[in-house]
Chain A
Amino acid sequence: MFNHLLLDIDASTIDWSRAQFALTAIYHWLFVPLTLGLAVIMGIMETCYYRTKDEFWKQTAKFWQKLFGINFAMGVATGIILEFEFGTNWSNYSWFVGDIFGAPLAVEGIVAFFMESTFVAVMYFGWKKVSPGFHLASTWLTGLGATISAWWILVANAWMQYPVGCEFNPDTMRNEMVSFAEVALSPFAVSKFCHTVTSAWIIGAVFCVGVCCWYLLKKRETKMALESMKIGAAVGLAAALLTGVTGHKSGMDVAEVQPMKLAAMEALYDGGTEQGLKIVEGIEIPYGLSLMATNDPHGFVPGINDILNGYTTADGKTEISVDEKIERGKKAIAALSGYRAAKFASSDDGSIAAAHLKVLKENMPYFGYGYIKDKNAMIPPVAINFWAFRVMVGMGCLFILFFAVVLAGAYQFPKALWKKRDITALPAWHYWVAIALIPLAYIASESGWLVAEFGRQPWTIQDMLPTWASVSDIQSSSIIITFFLFLILFTTMLAVEINIMLNQIKKGPQL
């Protein structure tokens, strides 16, 4: 009855919806990784206080907790918008997969977010009100809550990259969950969580070491700076190494379930076996891409053209072309239409509906392709993926080296190398380099998200639902207004936060 009332929104609604979500997600990810990273660092510091009862550790922990607190509120504020934007800007998505996607968000709220928000209050205000053991537990539980929160959010995001544990129900016209375990413990989600959280620890560690270096530069708070630096660098080195390992696993996952994303990350148009990994265009590590994608230097990696036109892997598995997928997707949609018509027709004894259902099931894996008008729309932005991936990996390698050097310096290991050098009295440029790495860590981390999200385009849910079938029916003018409102609000608040943070650092701990 109302079919044709709804379809008058313009294409810019889709682009502005994407832009608004990207804006919120990018800002959100400026604050969350510092929360996750500092939670570990200040937890270790407070544990030192609990074990030694040394007032120095208490004041050190309180100092980092203060910086944590300044950052925490903005993470919370931007997070709530992300959750509700699934409804406000992606309402069709919310219906089509809400049966699956809503569950992790609800579990996050019940299990993680309450833990985080309850114990953060004890951490801030409980120093004189609860026992040291309760306070220490609260500090760790704040971090644990934030980490569990990240788990469920990344489960939800991983499901968008690799939808599992669900089936389409033609009667309700949506996908429905059939296995919570498959959704919650998807291998893609496990890799994503490990990779993302360890990369967040890097940001916490770089921030910690950078701030310590500023104190060393100013020749202030030397003891606090040195001891904090030891903890920060140890956490950072462990995190950077773990990020490398989990990154490799994530790369293999992407190669398996999102080959187009991998091809875009490598700007690989024509694939094959024994593919090299490009450092930049023209320079490559032989066999590197095959090894990264398949754990085999001779492994087959499809390129963008292979995926568009169809290909056969080395083990004989055939992947049909995008044109065929579009045809089968259209068949699925037509079968669904036929099924619904037959179901509500009094003349059908059930046989026509059953026949349509059979066709629908045969073609259901390609349902989302039925909404694709042009196969070239399947290609994600190659340049962004290519360079963002290189920035992320390059910076990750740099951080391994950086933390190793800082840790060696802080512990003066090996002694022969450091005997004439004191890490608390190095030439100024050393400290400036460490401070300059703070924004670079953020750029690396955001680059990771650019790869993850741009690489999935044009899908909101990989192979299931494209962006233009996911949006809400809102005029683009409304979204443009909210986009700029959020841009102004977030940018202003970020400026305020940075200024407060700098003032707090200048003020220093109360040792």
Chain B
Amino acid sequence: MTYTFLQHYWCFVVSLLGAILVFLLFVQGANSVARSLGYTEEGRRLVYNSTGRKWEFTFTTLVTFGGAFFASFPLFYSTSFGGAYWLWMLILFTFVLQAVSYEFQNKLGNILGPRTFQFFLTLNGILGPLLLGGAVATFFEGSNFIVEKNNLIDAGAITPIISRWANASHGLDALLNPWVLVFGFAVVFLARVLGILYVMNNVDDEDIRSRGSMRLIGAAVPFLVLFVAYLVHLLLKDGFAYNDEGIIYMEPNKYLTNLLEMWYLLAILLTGIVLVLYGILRTISSKNYFGGIWPAGIGTVLTVLALLLCSAWNHTAYYPSTADLQSSLTLENSCSSEFTLTTMFYVSLLVPFVLAYIVHAWHAIDKKKLTKDELQGDDHAY
């Protein structure tokens, strides 16, 4: 294994985790439409209990995504998290609210009342995907930071910090970029699409399923408009490239070039998009088809994976700086040492085993669809 292979391998692992995380945002998406999808108190409870059996997967994937990014590309962790402080803090804040909301909302002694926690779930359902989507969009649009490693040897400095944000907004400035918002809202509506598809599959309830088809159109149309708009923008925009000496420069149509030069990514991207469309369209057109979450979910993973790899492979700066081009992060200049990447490579071989038991446990819990009757007899129901 060469160092370059390991860098690309870990980029793949982190991108795959990111792609799975976007799929698992169906939890947030369903929560954001729980009020209209569930319609009645009983229906809403069904929706929350359906997503409530999966929220820990989303949470765990987010944690593992962060841990894997830290281990493999510590300069990204240092620069983005320390710089875009407010963006990440808001993301964390909404996820913390979500984590406690399921367990607390309907428990005896909940002094804040169930509606408070349902509001938290809705808030996380909208802000979580929006901000995570916005953070991902900065991989293409750039961020306002500077990295200077020589600050470490300034012993006279009070704090010899190597990276900083070049303005005082600490990440919130990203939300002023309309294309970041376009991508962020595309993720919000994608999460809703996936959430509706998931609930329709997981809950055996005539009312929710019939309402789901209608709500699906309302989420799918804005998602497709926003996604296509961003995709066209991405393919036409200049990208952040670097040469063999590590010098970063702007290259016209870089991301289009990447997809053409890495034809397999283009194939993955197109397959993903087709699967998402298939999942949506078949669910809308067929009254008896409720398995749309699977093609749409797999399609989402493939699409996001292809986009993330397109942002980093083929001599592309994956975390570009708009304040100082040469501070941009590439796989080469931000990764861990060869020893650490090799060690972590062996650890990553456990992933298929982990996936196997997750699938087994998921299947065991979900083989019988959730019903109102089951909730009445379940003393751990949310």
Interface residues of A (CB under 8 A from B): 1-3, 5-7, 9, 11, 13-14, 62, 66, 69-70, 72-74, 76-81, 83-84, 86-92, 94-96, 98-103, 105-111, 113-122, 124-126, 128-130, 134, 138, 169, 172-174, 176-178, 180, 330, 333-334, 336-337, 340, 370-371, 468-469, 471-475, 478, 482, 485, 489, 492-493, 495-497, 499-504, 507, 510
**Contact call A176/B56, Cβ cutoff below 8 A:** no
B69-121 CB contacts (< 8 Å) to partner A: 70-72, 74-75, 77-83, 85-86, 88-89, 92-93, 95-97, 99-100, 102-104, 107-112
Residue of A81, A100, A468, A510 near B340 (CB, 8 A) is A100
Q: B168 to chain A: which residues have CB within 8 Å?
A: 475
Interface string of B47-64 (1 = CB under 8 A from A): 000000110110110111
The answer to whether A111 touches B350 (Cβ under 8 A) is yes
A91–B344 touching, CB < 8 Å: no
- B159 near A469 with CB under 8 A, answer yes
Contact A495 B111 (CB under 8 A): yes
Shortest 6 CB-CB contacts between residues of A and residues of B = A91-B82, A98-B74, A87-B81, A503-B109, A109-B64, A102-B71
Expressed in whole angstroms, the minimum distance between the Cβ of B145 and any Cβ of chain A is 10
Determine whether the beta carbon of B70 is less than 8 Å from that of A503.
Answer: no
The residue of chain A having its C-beta at the shortest distance from the C-beta of B359 within the complex is A118
Contacts of B96 in A (CB 8 A): 77-78, 80-81, 489
Q: B56, A120: Cβ atoms under 8 Å?
A: yes
Query: Given A89-B82, A176-B337, A468-B158, are A109 and B67 neighbors across the interface (CB < 8 Å)?
Result: yes
Q: Are B107 and A503 in contact, CB atoms less than 8 angstroms apart?
A: yes
Question: Complex: how many Å from CA A108 to CA B60?
Answer: 10
Chain A contacts for B354, CB-based, 8 A? 110-111, 114-115
User: Could you tell me if A77 and B100 are in contact, using CB atoms closer than 8 angstroms?
Assistant: yes
> Chain A contacts of B112 at CB under 8 A?
492, 496
Q: Is B159 a contact of A468 with CB atoms below 8 Å?
A: yes
Interface residues on B, range: 35 or more
Q: How far is the CA of A96 from the CA of B86 in the complex (A)?
A: 23
In the complex, A62→B155 CA distance in Å? 58
C-alpha spacing A471/B56, complex, angstroms: 30
In the complex formed, the residue of A with least CB distance to B117 is A496
A130 CA to B366 CA in the complex, in Å? Answer: 11
**Contact present for A88 and B71 (CB under 8 Å):** no
Known contacts A84-B92, A173-B149, A110 near B59 by CB under 8 Å: no
* Residue pair A80, B92 in contact (C-beta under 8 Å): yes
B337 pairs with A169, CB closer than 8 A? yes
From B60, B71, B82, B149, contact of A105 by CB (8 A): B71
Residue B250 is within 8 A (CB to CB) of chain A in the complex: no
Tell me the complex Cα distance, A493–B110, Å.
10
- A106-B70 contact given A2-B324, A87-B80, A88-B89, CB 8 Å threshold: yes
Q: Is B68 located at the chain interface by the 8 A CB criterion? A: yes
Give Cα A99–Cα B59 distance, bound, in whole angstroms: 24
Q: A2-B146, A91-B79, A340-B150 are in contact. Are A102 and B67 (CB under 8 A)?
A: yes
**B143 located at the interface, meaning its Cβ lies under 8 Å from any Cβ of chain A in the complex:** no
Chain B's nearest CB lies how many Å from the CB of A506? 8
* A472 cross-chain contacts in B, Cβ below 8 A: 81-83, 85, 161
* Chain A hits for B365, CB < 8 A: 121-122, 125-126, 129-130
Contact B161 A493 (CB under 8 A): no
Least CB distance, B363 to chain A, in whole angstroms: 10
Point out which of A91, A169, A471, A507 has the most chain B C-beta atoms below 10 A from its C-beta: A91
Interface contact B164-A5, CB-CB below 8 Å: yes
Please determine whether A76 and B80 come into contact, CB atoms closer than 8 angstroms: no
Main secondary structure of the interface of B (DSSP, over half): helix
In the bound complex, CA of A7 to CA of B59 (Å):
36
Task: Determine which of B66, B72, B100 lies in contact with A84 in the assembled complex, contact meaning CB atoms within 8 Å.
Answer: B66
How long is the Cα–Cα vector from A469 to B157 in the complex, in angstroms? 9
Verify A129–B74 contact, CB threshold 8 A: no
B100 interface neighbour in A478, A482, A493, Cβ under 8 Å: A493
Report chain A residues within 8 Å CB of B232: none
Q: Is B336 an interface residue (CB 8 A)?
A: yes
Chain B window 354-382, contacts with chain A (Cβ cutoff 8 Å), 1 for yes, 0 for no: 10011001101101100000000111100
Instruction: Report the separation of the CA atoms of residues A471 and B164 in the bound assembly, to the nearest whole angstrom.
Output: 11
Specify which chain A residues have a CB less than 8 angstroms from the CB of B165 in the assembled complex.
Answer: 473
Do B358 and A114 touch across chains, with their CB atoms under 8 A apart?
A: yes
- Determine which of B148, B150, B155, B344 lies in contact with A106 in the assembled complex, contact meaning CB atoms within 8 Å: B344
- Tell me whether A7 and B109 are in contact (CB under 8 A): no
What residues on A are CB-neighbors of B100 within 8 Å? 73-74, 77, 493, 496-497
Query: Is B343's CB within 8 Å of the partner chain A?
Result: yes
Is B1 interfacial (CB-CB < 8 Å)? Answer: no
Closest B residue to A100 using CB positions: B340
With A66-B379, A73-B100, A95-B74 known to touch, is A138 a contact of B361 (CB < 8 Å)? yes
Is B339's CB under 8 angstroms from A6's CB?
no
State how many angstroms separate the Cβ of A9 from the closest Cβ of chain B.
Answer: 6
Which of B82, B339, B361 meets A474, CB within 8 Å?
B82
A77 touches B379 (CB 8 A): no
A-B contact pairs, 29 of them (CB 8 A): A3-B148, A5-B146, A5-B164, A77-B96, A80-B95, A87-B66, A90-B82, A91-B78, A91-B79, A94-B70, A95-B74, A95-B79, A96-B152, A99-B337, A105-B71, A110-B64, A119-B361, A173-B152, A337-B153, A469-B160, A473-B82, A473-B163, A489-B96, A496-B100, A496-B104, A500-B108, A500-B110, A502-B109, A503-B108
**Residues of chain A with a CB closer than 8 A to B261's CB:** none
In the complex, chain A residues whose CB is within 8 Å of the CB of B378:
125, 128
B56–A110 contact, CB under 8 A?
no
Q: Find chain B residues with CB under 8 A from A62 CB.
A: 379
Q: Which of B103, B108, B170, B336 has the most CB of A within 10 A?
A: B103
Out of B68, B151, B340, name the residue touching A176 (CB < 8 Å). Answer: B340
A495 and chain B: residue at smallest CB distance:
B111
B40 at the interface (CB under 8 A from A): no
Which of A106, A125, A172, A330 gathers the greatest number of chain B CB atoms within 10 Å? A106
A77-B99, A109-B68 known; A87-B340 Cβ under 8 A: no
Q: How distant is the Cα of A81 from the Cα of B91 in the complex, in angstroms?
A: 10
Residue of B53, B88, B358 touching A88 (CB-CB under 8 A): B88
